[in-house]
Chain A
Amino acid sequence: MIGDLKTRDLLLFAFVALLFVGTGIVQSWNVSLTILNMGLISAIMALGVNMQWGYAGLFNVGIMGFVALGGLGAVLVSMPPTGQAWADGGLRVLLGLVLGAATVVAAVLAWSRVTRFRGPVVVAILVIGFFIFRAVFDGGVAAVEAVDPASTGYLGGLGLPIILSWPVGGLLAAGAAWLIGKTALGLRSDYLAIATLGIAEIVIAILKHEDWMARGVKNVIGLPRPVPYEIDLQNSEAFVARMTAWGFDPVTASGITVKLGYTGLFVVVLAILLWLAQAALASPWGRMMRAIRDNEVAAEAMGKDVTRRHLQVFVLGSAVVGIAGAMMTTLDGQLTPGTYQPLRFTFLVWVMVIVGGSGNNWGAVLGGFLVWWLWVQVEPIGAALMQGITAGMPDGMWLKAHLLEAAAHMRLLTMGLILLLVLRFSPRGLIPER
């Protein structure tokens, strides 16, 4: 797999590695590992988007939604179930959801089967269904949310190991992607961009609003971890003794050990996904996908079902993004719907893919690491720059205060400039498609 890389590409990866090592030496290894862990997750997100954009040329601007669905997966799998909530209204909520789904299915069936008064029939089904749904559902929700709202007030999860949530997050995202793709890719011309843009906002709205599901903006905190807690390590005599013997401060060492634990897990996931992605790209499926992209008309004439292939790759790519979303929530240890913002979770991933190289999996991974590193480090660099610029200004001058304060916003500007520069001078990205 690494054989696909050229010397230049390896040098680029070495350069990025150097950035992380440099961060470790100049700042601290704790900081460096923190950036690296998120970098790994970013690389996976970029990988997922690259499957959609790079292989098939699908423009997905709803990455944020799939990331958040992955995060929801983490909560649903790992948190302990809230017994009282299930007893009070859980089944009613589920029944409500089933009724809601049944309404939609009935409406769709009616649309395709009924021949006379089709419009009114469908509308009637939808309206009546909606009120039944609300009547059943709202009561259940109220009951669930009334259960100890300060700490639970939601149904909780399955209480399973959180690692399981990674594939589950992928599945959730894939399911949503299938629904979107089915509607947006089947139209006369594609409307995928606006569909994904909208659905991402809706996913976030649901996460924020549906408290019974994942506590909404009250956040779910204290998700179980796949790695030990720092405090446990610090209390473990064996750990402290070993670290002291190696000459490390046990407190610092515990933090680094935990982070390395995450790093190890993430590297494994990234390696597996990258291997799969590369294998898929080189397979007949991948070649067909690119053939469709390069000449849709010819592919269609040869009997390829373009829409179906697009749907396939869209679902797969979204699943990868969902996995990354679940991993991110695992790393954070909490689900905070309020923090999902399109600039950070959709458009930044786009910068990663374009900068890394559209159509090249290694490029996407490189872009993930590099852009994430920049995203984090531009702030201190910007602050230092502003310190330098304002050094000559007298203290208390409004401009000085303003510039120092505004340094925090340099990162968006920088990301935009990087995207524009790469698009202009190296449109194929750092590691071009081959």
Chain B
Amino acid sequence: MSSPYEGRANKDASIVKQGTRSTLTPGTATGERTHTADAFLIGDSMTGGYGSGADILHDCTIAVEKGEIAVIVGPNGAGKSTGMKAVFGMLNLRKGAVRLDGEDITALTPQDRVAKGMAFVPQTSNIFTSMTVEENLEMGAFLRRDDISGTMAQVYDLFPILKDKRRQPAGELSGGQRQQVAVGRALMTQPTVLMLDEPTAGVSPIVMDELFDRIIEVARTGISILMVEQNARQALAIADKGYVLVQGRNAHTGTGKELLADPEVRRSFLGG
């Protein structure tokens, strides 16, 4: 075990705060930097894994152009979220590179990438539950020193329900509303890229459609969207670019329509 105190007394609530500890660890970029293609944001031929563990990604490439929606789909355990995290700098890359707008950002920490204009919405724990909706948005804009009221108004335009609930603690909202807060928080940084890890996990189909509509709207404003989705069919329907990953490798790549039409993709992932 890593620390002799790992198994001891960490459940004692009178001395140790319960709940999830921070899991966000910056990755490393040790190996060769590859350059095989160009895009606005590209994770180029990435190979690597968590910590010193086995490689999860193998020569995997994920890219998105400006104002487009790229979707990563694939079976369970295919490394979808891992691929996204690699692009965001949370993986130890043994080979490959990440470039944003032509600049090599492979060695940057996730926080530095936030400053470069990348916003990330984790799958779970993606809002500040004890803070009001408005405070959540303010925290999203923490790095900005300019006037944020314009951006906040845009977020409220995009998600009108949030405006009504802006003084409510975000933890009291419904699942779909929480996801809106999470996306809204990420948008407050005025990012050039928005990365979403399974934004529709656990929400009802109606809410899901609504959320996808909003995501399309966001993309129309020129923000690139990279998202991992469990609901492959609906996601590919709105995707400009789709990546099907299998065991950490690119299995199929194409536009959303192409992939939806590809018989093999249909057979193996979309249930016929």
Complex interface bits, A52-85 against B, C-beta within 8 A gives 1, otherwise 0: 0100011100000000000000000000000000
Known contacts A294-B1, A427-B3; is A191 also within 8 Å of B12 by CB?
yes
* Residue A194, interface by CB 8 Å: yes
* Interface 9-residue window, one of B13-21, B58-66, B73-81, B244-252: B13-21
CB contacts (< 8 Å) of A293 on chain B: these are 7-8
Q: Which of B4, B7, B9 contacts A59 (CB 8 A)?
A: B9
* Residue B266, interface by CB 8 Å: no
List A residues 292-308 near B (Cβ within 8 Å).
Answer: 293-296
CB contacts (< 8 Å) of B18 on chain A: these are 189
Q: Are B12 and A193 in contact (CB under 8 A)?
A: yes
Q: Are A53 and B9 in contact (CB under 8 A)?
A: yes
CB contacts (< 8 Å) of A189 on chain B: these are 11-13, 18
Q: Which of B8, B12, B14 contacts A358 (CB 8 A)?
A: B8
CB contacts (< 8 Å) of B3 on chain A: these are 427
Q: Which of A59, A294, A428, A429 contacts B12 (CB 8 A)?
A: A59
Least CB distance, A55 to chain B, in whole angstroms? 10
Complex interface bits, A18-56 against B, C-beta within 8 A gives 1, otherwise 0: 000000000000000000000000000000000001000
Q: Are B4 and A432 in contact (CB under 8 A)?
A: yes
Q: How far is the CA of A57 from the CA of B6 in the complex (A)?
A: 9
CB contacts (< 8 Å) of A296 on chain B: these are 7, 11
List A residues 406-434 near B (Cβ within 8 Å).
Answer: 427-429, 432-433
Q: How far is the CA of A189 from the CA of B19 in the complex (A)?
A: 11
* Residue A190, interface by CB 8 Å: yes
Q: How far is the CA of A401 from the CA of B51 in the complex (A)?
A: 57
Q: Which of B6, B8, B13 contacts A191 (CB 8 A)?
A: B13
Closest B residue, CB atoms, query A187: B13
Closest A residue, CB atoms, query B10: A57
* Residue A168, interface by CB 8 Å: no
Known contacts A294-B1, A427-B3; is A192 also within 8 Å of B12 by CB?
yes
Closest A residue, CB atoms, query B9: A59
CB contacts (< 8 Å) of A195 on chain B: these are 14
CB contacts (< 8 Å) of B8 on chain A: these are 53, 57-59, 293, 358
* Residue A216, interface by CB 8 Å: no
Closest B residue, CB atoms, query A294: B7
Q: How far is the CA of A429 from the CA of B6 in the complex (A)?
A: 15
Q: Are A194 and B4 in contact (CB under 8 A)?
A: no
Q: How far is the CA of A293 from the CA of B12 in the complex (A)?
A: 13
Q: Are A427 and B11 in contact (CB under 8 A)?
A: no
CB contacts (< 8 Å) of A359 on chain B: these are 4
CB contacts (< 8 Å) of A294 on chain B: these are 1, 6-7
Q: Are A193 and B4 in contact (CB under 8 A)?
A: no
CB contacts (< 8 Å) of B4 on chain A: these are 358-359, 427-429, 432-433
Q: Are A57 and B14 in contact (CB under 8 A)?
A: no
Q: How far is the CA of A58 from the CA of B8 in the complex (A)?
A: 7
Q: How far is the CA of A192 from the CA of B13 in the complex (A)?
A: 8
Complex interface bits, B93-128 against A, C-beta within 8 A gives 1, otherwise 0: 000000000000000000000000000000000000
Least CB distance, B156 to chain A, in whole angstroms? 38
Interface size class on chain B is 10 to 19
Least CB distance, B41 to chain A, in whole angstroms? 38
Q: How far is the CA of A410 from the CA of B4 in the complex (A)?
A: 29
Q: Are A427 and B5 in contact (CB under 8 A)?
A: yes
CB contacts (< 8 Å) of B7 on chain A: these are 57, 293-296
Q: Are B13 and A190 in contact (CB under 8 A)?
A: yes
List A residues 164-199 near B (Cβ within 8 Å).
Answer: 189-195
Q: Are A192 and B5 in contact (CB under 8 A)?
A: no
Q: How far is the CA of A193 from the CA of B14 in the complex (A)?
A: 6
Q: How far is the CA of A165 from the CA of B7 in the complex (A)?
A: 35
Q: How far is the CA of A189 from the CA of B8 in the complex (A)?
A: 14
CB contacts (< 8 Å) of A59 on chain B: these are 8-9, 12, 15
CB contacts (< 8 Å) of B15 on chain A: these are 59, 193-194
Q: How far is the CA of A53 from the CA of B12 in the complex (A)?
A: 12
CB contacts (< 8 Å) of B9 on chain A: these are 53, 57-59, 190, 192-193
Q: How far is the CA of A190 from the CA of B13 in the complex (A)?
A: 6
Q: How far is the CA of A57 from the CA of B13 in the complex (A)?
A: 13
Complex interface bits, A337-366 against B, C-beta within 8 A gives 1, otherwise 0: 000000000000000000000110000000
Least CB distance, A201 to chain B, in whole angstroms? 15
Least CB distance, A250 to chain B, in whole angstroms? 51
Q: How far is the CA of A344 from the CA of B188 in the complex (A)?
A: 54
List A residues 111-157 near B (Cβ within 8 Å).
Answer: none
CB contacts (< 8 Å) of A428 on chain B: these are 4
Q: How far is the CA of A96 from the CA of B256 in the complex (A)?
A: 82
Complex interface bits, A238-278 against B, C-beta within 8 A gives 1, otherwise 0: 00000000000000000000000000000000000000000
CB contacts (< 8 Å) of B1 on chain A: these are 294
Least CB distance, B92 to chain A, in whole angstroms? 25
CB contacts (< 8 Å) of B10 on chain A: these are 57
CB contacts (< 8 Å) of B5 on chain A: these are 358, 427
Least CB distance, A420 to chain B, in whole angstroms? 14
Closest B residue, CB atoms, query A53: B8
Q: List 25 A-B contacts (CB under 8 A).
A: A53-B9, A57-B10, A58-B12, A59-B12, A59-B15, A189-B18, A190-B9, A191-B13, A192-B9, A192-B12, A192-B14, A193-B14, A193-B15, A194-B15, A195-B14, A293-B8, A294-B1, A294-B6, A295-B7, A358-B4, A358-B5, A427-B3, A427-B4, A427-B5, A432-B4
Q: Using a CB–CB distance below 8 Å, which chain A residues touch chain B? A: 53, 57-59, 189-195, 293-296, 358-359, 427-429, 432-433
What would 4 more interface pairs be, CB under 8 Å, given A189-B13, A193-B14?
A192-B12, A195-B14, A296-B7, A432-B4
CB-based closest 6 A-B pairs: A57-B8, A194-B14, A59-B9, A189-B13, A293-B7, A190-B12
